[in-house]
């Protein structure tokens, strides 16, 4: 019976990972994790066996790999694919580790300033020099001349399209959403104004630039076909879309304004237990709108 049960295939980052545990060790253990995440609520609602491939810190590139691998592996057993995509500026380095130049650089700079950053902890990635690699990348004289935001956005929309297209062609139900801000322009401005090779003459970028990149590439147009399956499409508030953090931090329905912004703690902005339930409700509502 177990082997015949249909599967809900889920993927995402720490916002979806059942093994999520906050690295803020200053708060009680029962506030750090080990609670139901949104995929659990969706699986219960649909009465499907949950196969959750989410992993904290992963990129959409890794999400794509894991989802496609399990679609091929389990074939007709997959009933529904549900994905909460992560930052577009993360990418997988040769299937060895994840690199996120903007956020890793910010963490590195915070450490140099003596600020507390719960994400700056000793790990095998640190020993590999990931943060230093990110800083050097952002310092590069060619960085601003390369099309980093363009490539990040186009690649990630491509991953989304390929999964959606596969599901459509194989009669697999699917629902997508976006966990965190797709591309952190403010973070890029912060880093480049501090370590960029022309930091003294750096001109800040804005979210209109990101919106323009979204609108003016082939994968956006391809995904428009599947917009009814995507919560908050096209994700950017500048384009009348939203991502989960935008709803949380702005206190927009079904969230509402709270002093703690629905965060795990003052230092850890991951969604807390209550926020996970609400995100589950959002995904369930969209699913029912699509498939009844």
Specify the range with the lowest mean pLDDT, choosing from 71-80, 156-165, 193-202: 193-202
Q: For the segment 6-37, what is each residue's pLDDT rounded down to a tens digit? A: 999 999 999 999 999 999 999 999 999 999 99
Output the pLDDT for position 3: 57
Residue 268 has pLDDT above 50, yes or no: yes
Provide the mean pLDDT of the chain: 93
Return the percent helix, strand and coil in the chain, to nearest 5.
50, 10, 40
- Give, for 174, the enclosing helix (H) or strand (E): strand 173-178
The C-alpha atoms of residue 59 and residue 92 are separated, in whole angstroms, by 6
Output the pLDDT for position 116: 76
Output the pLDDT for position 175: 98
Mean pLDDT of 185-214: 93
Q: What is the pTM (predicted TM-score) of this model?
A: 0.95
More confidently predicted of 47 and 198 = 47
What radius of gyration, in Å, describes the C-alpha atoms of the chain?
19
Neighbours of 119 (CB within 10 A): 14
The C-alpha atoms of residue 151 and residue 213 are separated, in whole angstroms, by 9
The C-alpha atoms of residue 149 and residue 153 are separated, in whole angstroms, by 6
Instruction: Return the closest-CA partner of residue 22 out of 284, 276, 243, 282.
Output: 276
The C-alpha atoms of residue 235 and residue 31 are separated, in whole angstroms, by 29
Mean pLDDT of 30-50: 97
Mean pLDDT of 175-181: 98
All structural domains of the chain, each given as residue ranges with its CATH number in brackets, are: 2-97+153-185+201-291 (3.40.50.1110)
Q: For the segment 216-263, what is each residue's pLDDT rounded down to a tens digit? A: 999 999 999 999 999 999 999 999 999 999 999 999 999 999 999 999
Output the pLDDT for position 117: 74
Output the pLDDT for position 120: 66
Output the pLDDT for position 107: 84
Mean pLDDT of 123-146: 83
pLDDT band for position 1 (cuts 50, 70, 90): very low
Q: Please state whether beta strands 91-93 and 78-85 pair in parallel, antiparallel, or not at all (unpaired).
A: unpaired
Both tokens assigned to 268: 């850890």
Residue 114 has pLDDT above 80, yes or no: no
pLDDT-above-90 percentage for the chain: 78
The C-alpha atoms of residue 103 and residue 106 are separated, in whole angstroms, by 5
Output the pLDDT for position 4: 65
pLDDT band for position 194 (cuts 50, 70, 90): very high
């Amino acid at each position: 019976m177990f082997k015949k049960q249909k599967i809900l295939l889920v993927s995402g980052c720490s916002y979806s990972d059942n093994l999520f545990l906050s690295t803020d060790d200053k708060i009680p253990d029962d506030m750090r994790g080990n609670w139901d995440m949104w995929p659990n609520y969706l699986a219960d609602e649909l009465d499907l066996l949950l196969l959750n491939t989410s992993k904290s810190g992963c990129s959409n590139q890794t999400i794509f790999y894991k989802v496609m691998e399990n679609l091929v592996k389990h074939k007709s057993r997959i009933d529904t694919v549900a994905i909460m995509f992560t930052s577009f500026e993360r990418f997988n380095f040769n299937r060895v580790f994840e690199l996120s130049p903007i956020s890793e650089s910010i963490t590195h700079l915070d450490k140099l300033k003596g600020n507390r950053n719960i994400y700056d902890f000793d790990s095998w990635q640190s020993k590999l020099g990931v943060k230093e690699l990110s800083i050097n990348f952002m310092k590069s004289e060619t960085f601003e001349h390369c099309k980093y935001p363009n490539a990040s956005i186009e690649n990630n929309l491509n991953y989304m399209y390929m999964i959606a297209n596969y599901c459509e062609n194989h009669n697999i139900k699917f629902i997508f959403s976006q966990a965190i801000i797709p591309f952190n322009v403010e973070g890029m401005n912060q880093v480049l104004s501090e370590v960029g090779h022309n930091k003294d003459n750096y001109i800040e970028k804005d979210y209109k630039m990101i919106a323009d990149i979204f609108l003016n590439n082939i994968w956006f147009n391809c995904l428009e076909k599947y917009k009814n399956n995507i919560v908050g499409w096209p994700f950017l508030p500048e384009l009348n879309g939203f991502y989960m953090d935008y709803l949380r931090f702005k206190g927009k329905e079904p969230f509402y304004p709270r002093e703690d912004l629905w965060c795990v703690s003052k230092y850890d902005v991951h969604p807390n237990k209550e926020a996970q339930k609400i995100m589950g409700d959002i995904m369930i509502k969209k699913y029912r709108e699509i498939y009844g």
